[in-house]
């Protein structure tokens, strides 16, 4: 860190990076006086690597198996009752909208999974069983907060206002797809909603989230008028095995980044069950190891997830920022993706059991019914309406024009290189010369978009 800063200071026009500048100082982590030597006869350790440890004569290994498992917080019983009367539930209107968002995701999942099976799109991933984790946590974030997703967070998008049209445009890669048709299906992204585009390689988003949070922190230091923001980063328990996860937690902790890591522990990483994925107490136990405030929550309890995320957001912004880890427990009812048949490695009855016994949608429904906010009629009406809306968006997106031809050449680099410009010009000339050979009407703007 030291040397690059000095170099930066020389090269940069902004004196912000000069040591001595208040922002520079604020960005430096507090350093312990590591040169303090051990006092003779002291009871505690003064090693630079462990400043708070007491000496002991009893040789005692720490045995994680003897530790009690980190408890799982919940607010709503499986029957939909608020367990602790001091718990403040969200306003009814919000509870209802969260319910509808979970419902719309689950309905879209069924429709799109079948559509993939019919060959109408190449790939799809459902999020059955994890709607609560995504919708609940997203409901506790502000619009300005920045989000990194893994790939099973359709609920986060829905809760932030991503519409059926937006989903379908991405899935069918039409002209309204923000990714310009360059990604596989379900790789959504939206700059308006502050959600980074989903990237296929696993776990890469976790250190990036720490970096983005660091950027937010710096931004706030340079301009205190910017709103307080955090980064929320989603990933599965499988991704937490990648080295990136560990690097991310450590750097987020040491640089005090305002980031909330949200682990969706759904029991399976494609075919690998959690028992083969790790031996510790879930992902939560790793957070404490990195000195990160951590909580485990029942992912099927959307109210608990919301509450926990709300609090975590607050904590992440305290004292200039720090990371928080949430481990949301749930069960992946869906197959990993349309390329997977999960009944090859788990019993169908196990899945059916989970689906019936406990799932975030039915639990919130029971809560709403008990409050007289929901009924069978309303359920039927909502399901019918959402299904219709989804299918309408589906049909429209399928018919929509493709992205402009020009997008073939754009964005490989920030600006088109002379070679790429020449290629584009050449393509235009070919189409001009042989208009009958090329039907460009299905592309937005036709051949005109190729003019430089």
Structure tokens at 213: 């949070």
**Taking the complex as a whole, how short is the minimal distance between the CB of residue 209 and other proteins, in angstroms?**
17
Cβ proximity to other proteins, 45 vs 427, nearer residue? 427
Q: What is the DSSP letter of 242?
A: S
Strands 272-273 and 268-269: antiparallel
**Taking the complex as a whole, how short is the minimal distance between the CB of residue 249 and other proteins, in angstroms?**
15
Interface segment toward other proteins; rule CB under 8 A; list 133-141, 268-276, 311-319, 380-388: 268-276
Strands 259-265 and 324-329: parallel
The residue to which tokens 């009752």 are assigned: 81
**Taking the complex as a whole, how short is the minimal distance between the CB of residue 74 and other proteins, in angstroms?**
28
Burial of 247 from C-beta contacts in 10 A (0-12 / 13-18 / 19+): middle
Cβ proximity to other proteins, 17 vs 148, nearer residue? 148
Q: Is the CA virtual torsion 243, 244, 245, 248 positive or negative?
A: positive
Cβ proximity to other proteins, 138 vs 450, nearer residue? 450
How far apart, in whole angstroms, are the C-alpha atoms of residue 123 and residue 113?
A: 8
How far apart, in whole angstroms, are the C-alpha atoms of residue 112 and residue 394?
A: 9
Interface segment toward other proteins; rule CB under 8 A; list 67-75, 76-84, 274-282, 433-441: 274-282
Number of residues binding to other proteins, judged by CB under 8 A: 30
**Taking the complex as a whole, how short is the minimal distance between the CB of residue 280 and other proteins, in angstroms?**
12
22 is a site residue for other proteins (CB under 8 A): no
Contact 361, 109 (CB under 8 A): no
Cβ proximity to other proteins, 253 vs 408, nearer residue? 408
How far apart, in whole angstroms, are the C-alpha atoms of residue 45 and residue 50?
A: 7
Q: In sequence order, what are the beta bridge partners of 232?
A: 147, 260
Tell me, residue by residue from 175 to 204, as one string, x for binding to other proteins by CB under 8 A and - for no binding: ------xxxx--x-----------xxxx--
Tell me, residue by residue from 409 to 448, as one string, x for binding to other proteins by CB under 8 A and - for no binding: ---x------------------------------------
Contact 72, 298 (CB under 8 A): yes
Structure tokens at 386: 């959402």
Tell me, residue by residue from 345 to 364, as one string, x for binding to other proteins by CB under 8 A and - for no binding: x-------------------
Residue among 197, 241, 250, 396 that touches other proteins (CB under 8 A): 241
Residue among 80, 132, 238, 299 that touches other proteins (CB under 8 A): 238
**Taking the complex as a whole, how short is the minimal distance between the CB of residue 186 and other proteins, in angstroms?**
11
How far apart, in whole angstroms, are the C-alpha atoms of residue 251 and residue 236?
A: 19
281 is a site residue for other proteins (CB under 8 A): no
Contact 194, 145 (CB under 8 A): yes
By CB under 8 A, the residues from 114 to 133 that bind other proteins are 122-123
**Taking the complex as a whole, how short is the minimal distance between the CB of residue 49 and other proteins, in angstroms?**
24
How far apart, in whole angstroms, are the C-alpha atoms of residue 178 and residue 182?
A: 9
How far apart, in whole angstroms, are the C-alpha atoms of residue 307 and residue 406?
A: 46
Quote the Cα angle for 294-296-299, to 5°: 135
**Taking the complex as a whole, how short is the minimal distance between the CB of residue 46 and other proteins, in angstroms?**
35
For other proteins, the binding residues (CB under 8 A) are 122-123, 173, 181-184, 187, 199-202, 238-239, 241-244, 269-272, 276-278, 344-345, 402, 408, 412
């Amino acid at each position: 860190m030291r040397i690059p800063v000095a170099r930066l200071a020389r090269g940069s026009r902004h004196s912000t990076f000069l040591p001595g500048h208040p922002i520079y100082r604020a960005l430096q982590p507090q350093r312990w006086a590591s040169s303090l030597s051990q006092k003779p006869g002291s009871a505690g350790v003064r090693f630079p690597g462990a400043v708070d440890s007491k000496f002991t004569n009893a040789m005692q290994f720490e045995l994680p198996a003897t530790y009690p498992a980190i408890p799982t917080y919940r607010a709503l019983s499986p029957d939909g009752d608020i367990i602790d009367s001091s718990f403040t539930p969200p306003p009814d209107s919000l509870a209802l909208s969260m319910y509808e968002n979970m419902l719309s995701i689950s309905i879209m999942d069924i429709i799109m999974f079948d559509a993939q099976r019919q060959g109408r799109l190449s790939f799809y991933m459902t999020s059955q069983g994890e709607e609560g984790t995504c919708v609940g946590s997203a409901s506790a974030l502000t619009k300005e907060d920045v989000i990194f997703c893994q790939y099973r967070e359709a609920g986060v998008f829905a809760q932030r206002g991503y519409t059926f049209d937006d989903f379908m445009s991405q899935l069918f890669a039409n002209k309204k797809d923000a990714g310009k048709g360059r990604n596989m299906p379900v790789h959504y992204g939206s700059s308006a909603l502050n959600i980074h585009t989903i990237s296929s390689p696993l776990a890469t988003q976790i250190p990036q989230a720490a970096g983005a949070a660091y950027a937010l922190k710096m931004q706030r230091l340079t301009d205190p008028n910017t709103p307080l923001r955090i980064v929320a980063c989603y990933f599965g328990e499988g991704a937490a095995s990648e080295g990136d996860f560990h690097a991310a937690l450590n750097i987020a902790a040491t640089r005090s980044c305002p980031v909330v890591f949200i682990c969706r522990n759904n029991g399976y990483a494609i075919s690998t069950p959690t028992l083969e994925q790790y031996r510790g107490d879930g992902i939560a136990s790793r957070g404490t190891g990195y000195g990160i405030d951590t909580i485990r929550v029942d992912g099927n309890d959307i109210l608990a997830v919301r509450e926990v995320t709300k609090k975590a957001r607050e904590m992440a912004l305290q004292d200039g920022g720090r990371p928080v880890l949430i481990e949301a427990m749930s069960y992946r009812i869906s197959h990993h993706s349309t390329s997977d048949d999960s009944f090859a490695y788990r019993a169908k009855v196990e899945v059916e059991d989970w689906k019936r016994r406990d799932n975030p949608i039915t639990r919130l429904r029971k809560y709403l019914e008990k409050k007289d906010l929901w009924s069978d009629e309303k359920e039927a009406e909502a399901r019918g309406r959402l299904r219709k809306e989804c299918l309408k968006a589906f049909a429209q997106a399928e018919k929509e024009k493709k992205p402009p031809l020009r997008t073939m050449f754009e964005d490989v680099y920030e600006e088109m290189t002379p070679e790429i410009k020449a290629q584009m010009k050449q393509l235009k000339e070919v189409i001009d010369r042989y208009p009958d050979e090329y039907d460009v009407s299905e592309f937005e703007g036709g051949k005109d978009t190729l003019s430089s």
